[in-house]
Chains A and B, each alone.
Chain A
Amino acid sequence: MRALVKLWELILERFHLKEFLEHPVPRYSNINPLYWFGDVAAVSFFLLALTGFFLALLYTPSVNVQQIPASAIMKWDQLYGVEGGEVSATGSYLSVYKIVYLTPFGFILRQFHLWAAYLMIMAALVHFFAKFVLGAYKRRGGGALWLLGVLLGFLTINQAVLGYILPLHLDGILALMIGLNLFRYFDYLGIPVGGTIIALLGSNYPTNEVVKMIYVLHILIVPAVILILLGLKIQGILYGGVSPPPVRNEALRQKMVEDKEPFYPHRFALMVGQVFLQISFLLLLVAFFPQPLLEPWAPGQGVPTGVRPPWPVMWYYTYVKMIDPFISVGLPFLLVLFALVVPLLDRRGGVSVSERWVWILIAILYMAVIGYGTVLGFIVDIPKQITPFTRIVVPPDSAVPYAGTPTPVG
């Protein structure tokens, strides 16, 4: 035991962990829920990396067509009508099918990954709103952290969509088709972004190469960028401190800022609690609200009516459907740009609610735009059959400078 204690002390000393473990954390940030959701999103990211590692070992990206007997499709996956004795599916779908239905603990793994992704997005949105309300960007160094946060949020939603595409079910393929079409709109800005991306992918249809590229983006490139930005953010918080408490009284604010606890064991115990409660919450969702795998898609097959994108991008889908796509297609970029310039516009006054109620109203309006579109997307039915190509009007070919002729599969 004594040897273990000595070893522990040696590790603390040699890796300079003592300074980290003993760094003071203001008590108000430990007990105010507005300060919790960044941690929830970060922990979700690490849980996603852990489950994603095992899923990546079991998953195979491929659009090669394989046959599944219709009798092997689970009832809850038959949402849009499975026909015939055999159903065509891609190699990707079949590999996810095997993970979910034929691998021990594969079902838990995939469900946990899915729910953790949803929780990460939800926590990131709440964290964004909380920091907007707190005016977190007003403190020294806060603007840079805000910028990192906005980029991280954007990447998180992109990462969710990339992951949603991978099983190549009907809903995933809808997301992919819309995504590929979106790139073509960039050309109207005068920059050949769309053409370049489509040329890099080699096709504007889902081919083996496109799916492989999405797979690499999902498991390697985007998570690596997220990890770097997250590391910078944690570093900034560690040395720059958390956002000041939202109180107007100067003396009280000073008292709250000075009331500190060491990270270890105080905040550490709280973080252990948070991690386990979060895991528990996710596992309960897996046990009580498992999500279907959804229906397979085969190359050449259209996407039937009723197929919808996942909820994190549902608001976008709704607005693109409601408003002329040439106006609505840039909405996410507009929202990101607005979020980026907020610290430049909101510079005066303190951080208490009474001093910045106008900005809190703007924050509520910002979230309402996303919330309204999301809810509406689920309750309003699509009146006619719209394919992904007609849903978002395809720009004329002259606007898309292809590097090579795309080869559609099927």
Chain B
Amino acid sequence: MNMEPTVLAWLTAGVAVPAAVLVFALGYVSRAASTAVGLISVLALLALFAYTANIIMAYYSAASFPPDLAWVEKGLLYQRVAAGQLAAASFIIGIMAVQYYMEISKREGHE
């Protein structure tokens, strides 16, 4: 039994939003802790993406033309959730890279 797209979306938001806030906030305290939280959350999001991708691949194995529109709409929902999962993972990696720049830029005495 596959998870519904809305359930997957809420699950993704439940992981991504606290993780992004934590990575951002911890960046001002300890970059090591921020990186650890970032990497774990990215892995969790990629695991969720892998699960969603599996559902998408299985779902579209039944694609036919002309399609049933309810079927198409559900497929689009799964794909939008997958896009959201990748967006969250990319966002966290992006924050970590910018934080790294801020740290090395500071360390070398430019203040």
Q: Which residue numbers of A lie inside 8 Å of B, CB to CB? A: 27, 30, 68-69, 71-72, 74-75, 98, 101-105, 107-108, 111-112, 259, 261, 265-266, 269-270, 272-284, 286-288, 290
Q: Which residues of B contact A281 (CB under 8 A)?
A: 87
Q: Are A269 and B65 in contact (CB under 8 A)?
A: no
CA gap between A68 and B69 in the complex, in Å: 13
Q: Are A104 and B69 in contact (CB under 8 A)?
A: no
CA gap between A282 and B91 in the complex, in Å: 11
Q: Which residue numbers of B lie inside 8 Å of A, CB to CB? A: 53, 56-57, 59-60, 63-67, 69, 72-73, 75-76, 79-84, 86-88, 90-91, 93-98, 100-101, 104-105, 108, 110
Q: Are B97 and A273 in contact (CB under 8 A)?
A: yes
Contact with B83, one of A71, A98, A266, A287 (Cβ below 8 angstroms): A287
Q: Are A287 and B80 in contact (CB under 8 A)?
A: yes
Contact with B79, one of A71, A108, A282 (Cβ below 8 angstroms): A108
Q: Which residues of A contact B95 (CB under 8 A)?
A: 273, 277
Q: Are B79 and A105 in contact (CB under 8 A)?
A: yes
Q: Which residue of A lies closest to B76 (CB)?
A: A107
Q: Are A280 and B88 in contact (CB under 8 A)?
A: yes
CA gap between A266 and B60 in the complex, in Å: 43
Q: Are B56 and A71 in contact (CB under 8 A)?
A: no
Q: Which residue of B lies closest to A109 (CB)?
A: B79
Q: Which residues of A contact B69 (CB under 8 A)?
A: 71-72, 74-75
CA gap between A112 and B82 in the complex, in Å: 13
Contact with B87, one of A259, A269, A274, A287 (Cβ below 8 angstroms): A287
CA gap between A145 and B43 in the complex, in Å: 42
Q: Are A108 and B97 in contact (CB under 8 A)?
A: no
Q: Which residue of A lies closest to B96 (CB)?
A: A273
Q: Which residues of A contact B104 (CB under 8 A)?
A: 265-266, 269
Q: Which residues of B contact A270 (CB under 8 A)?
A: 97-98, 101
Contact with A102, one of B65, B81, B94 (Cβ below 8 angstroms): B65
Q: Are A107 and B79 in contact (CB under 8 A)?
A: yes
Q: Are A108 and B87 in contact (CB under 8 A)?
A: no
Known A72-B67, A74-B72; judge A276-B90 contact (CB<8 A).
Answer: yes
Classify the secondary structure of B's interface with A.
helix
Q: Are A279 and B66 in contact (CB under 8 A)?
A: no
B6 to chain A, nearest CB (A): 13
Q: Are B91 and A273 in contact (CB under 8 A)?
A: no
Q: Are B80 and A286 in contact (CB under 8 A)?
A: yes
Q: Which of A27, A101, A104, A108 has the most CB of B within 10 A?
A: A104
Contact with B94, one of A108, A266, A276 (Cβ below 8 angstroms): A276
Shortest beta-carbon contacts, A-B, top 8? A273-B97, A283-B87, A276-B94, A277-B94, A72-B66, A280-B90, A273-B98, A280-B91
CA gap between A101 and B108 in the complex, in Å: 52
Q: Which residues of A contact B100 (CB under 8 A)?
A: 265, 269, 273
CA gap between A274 and B101 in the complex, in Å: 11
Q: Are B97 and A284 in contact (CB under 8 A)?
A: no
Q: Are A104 and B60 in contact (CB under 8 A)?
A: yes
Extra A-B contacts (19), CB below 8 Å, given A74-B69, A108-B83, A284-B84: A74-B73, A102-B63, A105-B82, A107-B79, A108-B82, A261-B108, A266-B101, A266-B104, A269-B100, A272-B93, A273-B94, A277-B94, A279-B90, A280-B87, A280-B91, A283-B90, A284-B83, A286-B83, A287-B81
Known A107-B76, A283-B90, A287-B80; judge A276-B67 contact (CB<8 A).
Answer: no
CA gap between A363 and B53 in the complex, in Å: 47
Q: Are A27 and B110 in contact (CB under 8 A)?
A: yes
Q: Which residues of B contact A30 (CB under 8 A)?
A: 101, 105
Q: Which residues of B contact A71 (CB under 8 A)?
A: 66, 69
B81 to chain A, nearest CB (A): 7
Q: Which residue of B lies closest to A279 (CB)?
A: B90
Q: Are B60 and A103 in contact (CB under 8 A)?
A: yes
Q: Which residues of A contact B63 (CB under 8 A)?
A: 102-103
Q: Are A269 and B94 in contact (CB under 8 A)?
A: no
